[in-house]
Amino acid sequence: MPKKIAPIETFAYKATHWIGTTNCLVFHGIFFLIAFIITPFIGFDKVLLFTTTLLSWEAIFIGIFIQMSVNRHGERIKGIEADIDDILEDTEDLTEEEMAR
C-alpha cells in the first residue's frame, strides 16, 4: 500500500519545482521593480522593512520545502536500491544455475 502524502508535502514539492522556473524569476523581478517604484510614495524604510521581512520568510520556507523534497527523494532512492538488490540477487541465482549446467 503506497504511503499517503500529506498536503503540505505536495505543496512543498510543487513550490520547489516552481522555484527553478523562469516564471519564478520574472515574478521576483516584477516584485522588486514594484518595490522600487513605490519607494518614493511610501518611504524607503517601510519598503525595505516589508521586502526584507517577506523575503526572510520566503527563504525560511523555501529551505524547509527543499529539505522535505530531498527527504522524499531519499526515501524513493532507498526503495529503488532495495529493488536493485533484489534484481542482483536474482541475476546471481540465474548465473549460478547456468554455471551448474
- Are 18 and 24 within 8 A, CB to CB? yes
19 compared with 95, residue with greater pLDDT: 19
Band the pLDDT of 1: cuts 50, 70, 90.
very low
Q: 12-47: per-residue pLDDT in tens? A: 888 888 888 999 999 999 999 999 999 999 999 999
Q: 44-67: per-residue pLDDT in tens? A: 999 999 999 999 999 999 999 888
Q: Which residues have CB under 8 Å from 12's CB, separation 6+?
A: 64, 65, 68, 69
CB atoms within 10 A of CB 12: 22
Residue 60 is predicted with a pLDDT of 94
